[in-house]
């Protein structure tokens, strides 16, 4: 990422990627670079161009303009040797439904020319990692959507790629699966892979991503480390939580009248609002509330998080 650029080699570099579908510009001049051990979360509304960008990065999507470099070598249709360093899992991974899980992964191992003596061992390892060890000999057509998504993950990870692109990988997973998946991602990140994950589950991304890129209408509108993106929402504003000791209906009217308070939400004893992040102004506000005999039992500034930073960008849903 631009702000953490080191002298180390970027595993993935994208320069001014542009993808067009007739007159629609799906991705507009997107640039990013990813180093080893970096996990970039790609977020944005539906139709923002996240999937198209991921497809372009792995060479599946024809680009109107732009250049992708993997391990400092430009990705072109003729550089098939680079494909062994890239793994991509689409949101609904295509699989051979007529094969068993093991046979399908053997097919993948053959295509990646993996050492025949260790193929079964590797398949067992990755099936264990994606919690499908007991389904190895079942036909894929008999498995649920979530399980197919796990097969897609195993397919991507089996050849041990350096750059991993995952498009909404947790969408079909159950809650337990999501927890395990988070752990898997953290492990991969710690193995110095460069990973991009697109997802709508911002709370999860807050946990495992090192970097965030927010996309809107084909453009990357904000990118950087998680801390940088979260802080760059609006540094001058903060969300406060006010807890009352007893219901006080007139508090809402009182707060509304105070200049600088926005996005007021009340729920009996709990009130949330946005106000200046300056601690002195916050102290003055609290003193004023007490002066007006508001029964304050707690007054807490909420720490900024990714969800809030994303909402603060004001990105609208694309139809």
Of the two residues 83 and 252, which places its CB atom closer to other proteins in the complex?
A: 83
Stretch that binds other proteins, among 111-119, 139-147, 233-241, 249-257 (CB under 8 A): 111-119
Min dist CB 70 to other proteins, Å, is 12
If one asks whether residue 96 binds other proteins (CB under 8 A), the answer comes out as yes
Interaction residues for other proteins, span 11-40 (CB under 8 A): 15-16, 18, 22, 28
Least distance from other proteins to the Cβ atom of residue 12, Å: 15
**Maximum distance among all Cα pairs of the chain, rounded to whole angstroms:** 78
Candidates 26, 49, 88, 105; binder of other proteins (CB under 8 A) is 88
Out of 112, 180, 206, 261, the only residue in the binding site for other proteins (CB under 8 A) is 112
Q: What is the DSSP letter of 84?
A: G
Are residues 130 and 176 in contact, defined by beta-carbon separation less than 8 angstroms? no
Choose which of 2, 62, 179, 186 interacts with other proteins (CB under 8 A). Answer: 62
Q: Is 200 in the site for other proteins (CB under 8 A)?
A: no
- For other proteins, the binding residue among 107, 139, 160, 237 (CB under 8 A) is 107
The b/e string for 56-77 (b: 16+ C-beta within 10 A; e otherwise) is bbbbebebeebebbbbeeebee
> In sequence order, what are the residues at sequence separation of 6 or more whose Cβ sits closer than 8 angstroms to the Cβ of residue 254?
289, 292, 294
216 binds other proteins (CB under 8 A): yes
Does 86 bind other proteins (CB under 8 A)? Our answer is yes
- Identify which of residues 52 and 294 has a Cβ nearer to other proteins in the complex: 52
Asked if 313 interacts with other proteins (CB under 8 A), we say yes
Judged by CB under 8 A, the residue of 11, 57, 95, 130 near other proteins is: 95
Which residue is associated with the tokens 């998680």? 226
Which of the residues 217 through 276 are near other proteins (CB under 8 A)? Answer: 217, 219, 221-222, 232
Residues 6 or more apart in contact with residue 46 via CB below 8 angstroms? 317, 318
88 vs 86: CA distance, rounded Å = 7
Min CB(149)–other proteins separation in Å: 14
How many of the chain's residues bind other proteins (CB under 8 A)?
A: 48
Q: Which uninterrupted H or E stretch holds 145?
A: helix 145-157
Identity of the residue, 112 or 125, whose beta carbon is nearer to other proteins in the bound complex: 112
103 binds other proteins (CB under 8 A): yes
Angle between helices 116-129 and 145-157 (to 10 degrees): 140
**CA–CA dist 32, 17 (Å, integer):** 9
Backbone conformation region of residue 158, classed left if phi is above 0, alpha if psi is from -120 to 50, else beta: alpha
Per-residue binding string, other proteins, 64-83, x by CB under 8 A, is xxxx------x--x--xxxx
Instruction: Mark 10-35 as b/e (b = at least 16 C-beta within 10 Å).
Output: bbbbbeebbbbeeeebbbbebebbbb
Alpha carbon dihedral 120, 58, 11, 162, in 10-degree steps, equals -10
Residues that bind other proteins (CB under 8 A): 15-16, 18, 22, 28, 58-60, 62-67, 74, 77, 80-84, 86-88, 90, 93-96, 98-99, 103, 107-108, 110-113, 155, 216-217, 219, 221-222, 232, 313-315
């Amino acid at each position: 990422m631009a702000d953490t650029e080191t002298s180390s080699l970027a595993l993935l570099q994208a320069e001014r990627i542009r993808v067009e579908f007739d007159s629609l510009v799906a991705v507009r001049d997107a640039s990013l670079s990813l180093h080893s051990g970096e996990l970039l979360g790609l977020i944005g509304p539906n139709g923002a161009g996240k999937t198209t960008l991921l497809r372009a990065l792995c060479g599946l999507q024809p680009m109107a303009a732009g250049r992708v470099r993997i391990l400092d070598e430009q990705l072109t249709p003729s550089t098939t040797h680079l494909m062994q360093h890239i793994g991509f899992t689409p949101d609904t991974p295509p699989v051979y439904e007529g094969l068993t899980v093991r046979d399908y992964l053997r097919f993948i191992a053959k295509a990646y020319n993996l050492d025949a003596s260790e193929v079964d061992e590797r398949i067992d390892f990755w099936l264990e990692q994606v919690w499908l060890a007991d389904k190895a000999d079942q036909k894929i057509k008999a498995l649920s959507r979530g399980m197919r998504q796990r097969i897609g993950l195993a397919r991507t990870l089996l050849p041990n790629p350096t750059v991993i692109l995952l498009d909404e990988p947790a969408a079909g997973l159950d809650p337990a699966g999501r927890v395990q998946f988070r752990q898997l991602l953290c492990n991969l990140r710690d193995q110095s892979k460069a990973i991009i994950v697109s997802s709508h589950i911002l709370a999860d991304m807050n946990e495992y991503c090192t970097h965030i890129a927010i996309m809107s209408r084909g453009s990357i509108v904000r990118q950087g480390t998680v801390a940088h993106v979260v802080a760059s929402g609006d540094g001058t504003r903060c969300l406060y939580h006010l807890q009352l000791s007893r219901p006080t209906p007139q508090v809402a009217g009182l707060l509304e009248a105070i200049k600088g308070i926005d996005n007021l939400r009340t729920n009996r004893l709990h009130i949330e609002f946005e106000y200046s992040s300056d601690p002195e102004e916050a102290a003055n506000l609290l003193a004023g509330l007490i002066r007006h005999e508001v029964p304050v039992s707690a007054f807490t500034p909420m720490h900024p998080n990714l969800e809030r930073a994303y909402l603060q960008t004001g990105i609208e849903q694309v139809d």
